[in-house]
Structure 1
Amino acid sequence: MKPKDRISYFYDGDVGSVYFGPNHPMKPHRLCMTHHLVLAYELHKKMEIYRPHKAYPVELAQFHSADYVEFLHRITPDTQHLYSEELSKHNLGEDCPVFENLFEFCQIYAGGTIDAARRLNHKLCDIAINWAGGLHHAKKCQASGFCYINDLVLGILELLKYHARVLYIDIDVHHGDGVEEAFYFTDRVMTVSFHKFGDMFFPGTGDVKEIGEREGKFYSINVPLKDGIDDNSFTRLFKTIITKVVETYQPNAIVLQCGADSLAGDRLGCFNLSIDGHSECVRIVKKFNLPLLVTGGGGYTKENVARCWTVETGVLLESELPNEIPENEYIKYFAPDYSLKIPQGHIENFNSKSYIGSIKIQVLENLRYIQHAPSVQMQEVPPDFYIPDFDEDKQNPDERVNQHTQDKQIQRDDEYYEGDNDNDHNMEDV
């Protein structure tokens, strides 16, 4: 029997306290609910819990343009009226509003995914979880679909320093367009997205015909689905395609985006998946025994998001969880039945057997064009932490030094190594 997987789990309570606005479907509070449910089921005792470092602007600029990162850093709700042109250029507005502590929010969720990738790179864990991450729509210079910084792209870039080939899998109800676009021209990352497609559904991309270009041709895989897909059809299709992808592409590491808006009853979604169906995908991916980075993503019925990601934490730990939700700070949200699992939904399933069959044939046909897993000439590995030099002389002493700048002056001690198991879910404050 193989030894139990070592699991690193990243969480910072501050990520759940930001507020997108009264009528906005994105509620980061769902992350606090998830974390408290994980604690209530005592799953934290089986993992190493870390508070992520706040990603530095220079780390975010590994993918995003420096002027976009700088703009996110500068903009506040009070000053946004001065920047109408830049707001429009970087697509901030109704879907991607400017709110209090926006940049710090981005730093935390991106820092979690970057840290997760680094622990995997250094073989300090087998699986790393950052439920706050998975914001797959953000582009190089633009926010999109409630996403500002694309932590997934940053995490994959980190993994590519040590792994020749990375497989990205996305089970959010929306197409993982930002990640696909970032790696559309390379064979070092294969992106596979299962999503709703058609009828002007956001973001409007993700046709089965989108397969990558140049060196990346056939390394983007899209599985476009219609309303109402159920557990059985989804998991069978998922298992068939992902098994073939792993066999053909032979990735060295996997990144799995577990958007929970593909669950039945989601405010924005339109699938019929139960938590059992959704989590079965996680179980399938875990069985490949490859270094695995797991993130959250969409999910707009927050009690179901918390249920789903708690169950999936249990799946990754191989822990069966009792269906009755234990007492916790957010127990009232799970009324009236206080149960962990949710059943399949009852939206009409427009995915006929012949439709699913034709998608499967097209995807498997495209995989046949990949003769063998691409080999990569590995370069010297870039350093993990690049902390910018800080020039005190250039500081204006009259300016209030913000927390971010203060943090840059501190050599952080964020990495835990073998034997450091921090179950208080709180790092020593630096």
Structure 2
Amino acid sequence: MAGVYSVTQINAYIKNMFAQDFALNRISIKGEVSNCKYHTSGHIYFTLKDKASSISAVMFAGSRKGLSFHLEEGQQIVAKGSVEVYERDGRYQLYAQEITREGMGDLYERFLKLRNELEEMGMFSPEYKKEIPRYARRVGVVTAPTGAAIRDIMNISARRNPFVQLYLYPALVQGNGAAESIVKGIEMLDQKGLDVLIVGRGGGSIEDLWAFNEESVARAIFNCSVPVISAVGHETDVTIADYVADMRAPTPSAAAELAVFDYRQFKEQSDSIRYTLRTMMDRKLERCRFSIRQYELKLKYFDPKRSIREQRQRLHDLEEKLRSLTLRQIEAERRYLDESAFLMSQLIKKQTLRDRHRLELLAGRLHACSPLGKIGGGYGFITDLQNRKIDSVIQVETGDTLRLKLRDGMIETVVSEVESSEVSEADK
């Protein structure tokens, strides 16, 4: 159809127009850096803006030699390069070849000034940071009711733990009244007795995120009794709220990961711990049962009744042994006595026989010397009344009483006359 062009044809035509414009091919643009992103490829994507407008810009990795400093949010720069059309998307942007620093923008200066003031007041000190609960079940969220931030938080929370309750305060996160709305949301949810609070929004320029750089929001986060996780913008976006919060998350999705514990992982850990405890308990019980069996065996072994029976049996054995030993000893002693008695009788007999023979010999001698023996042939033995032998007349006086012992008796007589006779020397 005549007069109808494709999108590709139009974009190519516009790109050619930009390429033929001498002013756009060698141009320097002054503005404030916003939405600065360093890509892993080495390219730098950013936006140049002023009070009324903005333009997208990129510096490719091959042109980085034209950058002598680290590009950051809020810097006032002059970018030299060319304005060209990106044909695929049909949009134009600045392709920077050289960037020089002119100063910092007003918002960034305000950001640095407030950050330094609050830091001097100690609001960023670690000792004021509250610990994020490990197993939060009631999570408050202060963010816009629509947008990627709340959707990401809801999706991740539902995926990680469907039992966690989310309390949303639909706050303004950009534009006039945004700071007041965020402060009100923090204060209201702080009264709900929640476990943790997420305060944030999706990415944007420094102007879009400025509500989270207000002092009122910083003080509301600092005074909140519930632990606060800040989740403002993308990972490279840093706000005052990030410094004051108890924990900073690079994105709202990351904040949900930090605030909501993974129920499946928790259940797996719980099951693992339960299994470990059950295994340890079973092992402990088995060891206890084994110990009980050992103690039962020891108790049986050291049972008093068993000990008494053993002692009784031992006593009986000792009694039998003692009886046997006693009997053997008595028998031995009896045999010894019998033998001794026999020997004694033999010795007595022999001694008696010897003594009898000796006595007979002595008796014969005594008889031979005995007066009675001598007087048996008509002789007698004379004594006085005191049985003293009288063998001489000089021992007797007239009138003395004498006793005459004869063979068959005794005669008592009185001396009537004493007559002495001479004994010759030869008779002596």
Q: Same fold (TM over 0.5)?
A: no
Normalised by the length of structure 1, the TM-score is 0.26
Structure with more relative contact order (C-alpha pairs < 8 Å, separation 6 or more): 1
**Structure with the higher fraction of residues in helix conformation:** 2
Higher strand share: 2
Q: Which has the larger radius of gyration?
A: 2
